[in-house]
Structure 1
Amino acid sequence: MLEDTARAKENYLKALEYAKSSKNDTLLWYAYNNLGNIYSSNKNTVSKGFDFYKKAIEIASRNPDQSQVLVPVVNIAWTLLENGMFERAFPYLEQASQIFTEDEGGEAKSNLYTLYGMYYSGKEDYGKAKDYFLKGISLAEKNSFIVEASFAYEEYAKMLKNSGNADEAYIALTKHQEYREQLFAREKNLQREAVYELFETEEYKKNLEAARREQLYKDEVLEKTQQISAIMVVSLVVMFFFLILLFRNNGIRKKLISQLKEKNIELKSAKDEAERLSTLKTRFFSTVSHELRTPLYGVVGLTSLLLEENQNKEQEEDLKSLKFSADYLLALINDVLQMNKMESNLVHLENNTFNIHELFQGIIKTFETTRNNRMVNIELNVDPGIPYLVGDSMRLSQIMMNLLGNAVKFTEKGKVWIKAETVNCKDGRCRIYFEVGDTGIGIPKNKQEEIFEEFSQLKIQNLNYQGTGLGLPIVKKLLQLFDSEIQLESVEGEGSVFSFEINFEQGAENESIRHLGGASPETLPQLLKKILIVDDNRINQVVTQRILKKKDFECLVASSGEEALEILKVQTVDVVLMDVNMPGMNGMETTMKIREFNPDVPVIALTAVEVGEMKEEILKAGMNDIINKPYNIPQFFDTIFKNLLEPVA
């Protein structure tokens, strides 16, 4: 009763030895059952507790009066329910119900109802659970069973919380607390009585000792005894108050520990929920990205083709505006998706060999239209001594595109420049200094930290600059992946300079890149005779065909994976452009089927999903390369020709 399990176990084991000696079934049953209680209270020794309960049941079963069997059976069910093993507990509850008679005490019946409530609550049958809990509570309250009522209300509150009835759960928990306080008061009175009895016993002993010494030492001993008695009285009083204080503090400590456990459970639940929501958010952004990029592919592709073919000068500006708006929307989607991936720790650097001169030339070409519209001169200054580098060229491009985009956007007239210089190159590693500067509006000193925060934009009076405010935060987070950080120097009204340094491994010139560099647009149609386009979207088919036919390529079209397989079994093509996401048989499944009978034909994935999300899965399916939608047309052709020029393995 004092919850001193160590000493309880020691004495129950001694009791078991005497019970075995006496061969008294009642004593044996009692010892085994209580040892079961001790061991089952510790999760590490639950199985041993079950063994003792079963021995108690075996001994009690010898008695024609089966009422003794009821106690260990109920205890087993109770332990199983507390450990979440509801299916195992149910047969014991049923067995207890069959043993139970109307003569059994009301406490046992109340507890049995409560245990049935725990079982149905664990099975999420909250209707039946509530009925049993209310029966147990009614019986306990009717007969003033404080312990049983406290237990029933506690488990009833847990069930109400799990079923979503927070208000009723609070009321039930309040009732549980009221009965706990009554139990506490009752236990406190018992402890007080125990202390008083101990005090009276000690006094009695001291009086006997005093009497004996009085006979021996007479008056002298009597005087000393009185002094000692006085000291003992004071000590006992102090000890009594100390015990009361200790008991009170122990109660408070237990209550705080209980509250801490509940808070820890709530914290874990909140953490799990936050992780679940974060996963859902990532999936949502990925799905939305794909669904937006697919129609954008049609808009950007058709607009680019109309711009090239259009002879009406009056419509040219409208088409340029349309393409600019589509490109802006695509950049916005990419920024939001990129920020979401970085917040979810889904962005990782990949290593590939690249030529920084070609990389930066491509970046500048991307801003050609914007530069002409804003009368901005873009200068490129790349150290000719920079060798081929090994690193994540795509993430480096994202950083430079964001910085260059900001520089062009905030420079109405003037100059923007990109610089790349070798800091040092030794032991196969090169440290490169990068700089993007402009002569634009500049950034006030008090805003230079704020602009790297998400969704933060520099607001200039009388000027309106579009954007999400994600560009520079993305740059900052990407540079952290490179173990680098952005530096900013800016004077308001004079311009800004962003700079950083990155360490790369030194790489060798890639053979396929060198051969591709030797191919010209005029020679490319001779390299390719026939392309199979596999895409379920009609607009995507039209756009891709028209892009390829401008280079005089012969195009075959399949609207599904099954149709593509039929074509490839009877016709020879030089390359397959395969949409990844198609109804029925998707692109990866189709590619695996193709590889069963044609291991050599290059298969290039077309996808509107962020490349990094599916790259490993796409390549594992047997595809040779990936083209992201909407197409960057030069990169589109480069990817096709690179795969044609690579020797077949």
Structure 2
Amino acid sequence: MPLKHILLLLLFISNISSFNIVAQTKLPSKNDAVLIAKEANELLKKGSYEKSLIKSRAALNMAIRLKDNNLIAGSYNTIAANFDQLSETDKAFYYYNKGLTYANKTNNDVLKNWLNNNLGNIYCFDKKQYEKGIYYYKKSVQYSTKIKDSAQIVLTKLNLTWVYFDINRYEEGLPYLKYINKHHNNHGDSSTIVALNMLNGMYYNYKNDVKTANFYFKNAIKLGNAGNEKSDLSYSHYEYSKFLLKNGDSENAYKNLALFNKITEQLNSEERINKANVAGINLQLDEYKREIDKIENEFKTKESVLLQEQSKNKKIVIVLIAILLLLFFLFYFYSQNAQLRHKNKLKDLRSKVQENLINASINGQELERKKIASFLHDNISALLSSAGMHLHACISQNQSFSKEIIKTKAILEEAHDQVRDLSHELMPSLLARFGLFDALDDLCEKNSNSILHFEYSSSLNRKTRYDEDFEIKIYFIIMELLNNTIKHSEATQAKLSIQENKESLQIAIIDNGKGFDSNKFHILEGFGLNQIKARLNYLRGTVEINSKPNLGTSITIIVPITYQKKIIKPVFQSQ
């Protein structure tokens, strides 16, 4: 199967797996979820907390199913804000934390800013855990700075100033107060102007600047009476009473403290009324909380089941992919192996054809050698001998003979010797008449000289005879190897040894010459080994060459013996 088709099949399987997972649950529209979340926020701003909770719960359910962390965090924030407005601080705190967990998984810095600020408010003004509150306020400042929300920066730094001043850490709160004084006119709003004046009064009271502190406190109270910020007004009376008492004005201090108590009582009364108004829906609020938690737990359960099924499907896909890849690679290697076997077969056939051609050429050459040697010996040599005998008879009968006759006799004798030598070179008479071992001993003797000495060694009976064709091929193989030794080895000593072992003839030729790297086969090709190997393959024999530079050469030949089928008479005898 082509790789392209396999990849398409894998993609198809993967898509089927993904489709099965998605098809198990019908997801809501994200646009619908966003629209419901917006409606929940609008209802929150209008004070319709119960309706806002219903909408935000629905938005949360859809957001969880959509796995949209941004929508989930926003829904939790809206739910928390509703509980915050209903003075259900613990519930608000719980959902603000839930919202921040999901918001931190998003890039929504605006939402992170609000959630951190709201958590700071609860820690500082309800739980009185100031260090944690300061931490979340500072996180809020980081996000509001990042998104360049100047109004939010002013508001959060005002809260930080208030917290530091409330715990008498004025110097730490001073940088924030300076920032608010500088930027409030451009980025602050009327809801914080009372608090700003009160904070300035507190700071100058800490610095014992009575005149400036008195100015800011009075201004805070004046602005508070003119507006609707009763909480900030009550705190202004309280801080002003402390200032007056510190400076010896007990009477006015008492009056401001009484106003603080009065306004605080009014606020508490309003809060009690508010709580009374919401008492009827507290059970429903608890139910909302339980339902919201149930939605999240159900989602987590469904998500866990889906993840398990997804994991199972992924494993199935991986197994299928692995099987397909394994099949592909098996097919690929099989096809490559088949091609390699085919190539090797062709190579072997070519080698066999080439070897057969070489053997046919060698056999033809040997046959021609025998024919020419036989013709020279039986015909030409005999004719020359006959002519010589007639000439000798003529000379014997005539007492006087010319110089031309003597020269003719000498030429005939020289021609006879040359024909005989040529005949023996083409087909040694010793090989035909006395066998392989005498011929090889004679070959070593002829090739020995003062520079290179060939030693012949064999424990075999010299009268041992093999098949004629076998002896001829072995003789010429050894002759070619000895010629190589003479031409290339630069040796001074060489040894030819022949033994029989399990109906095989073992031939060893060893010299002490310069040697060569036998691993480099291309060097050996120039030594006529192709014909030698072709002869040996024809005889089903093997050759092993071991040589190293400056360490001589060792050649070992093992060839099955072909014995005589019948007694072969000598083809000719030497004259």
Range class of TM-score, shorter chain = 0.3 to 0.5
Structure with the largest fraction of helix: 2
Which is higher, the Rg of structure 1 or of structure 2? 2
The structure with the greater share of residues assigned to strand is: 1
Q: TM-score, normalised by structure 2?
A: 0.33
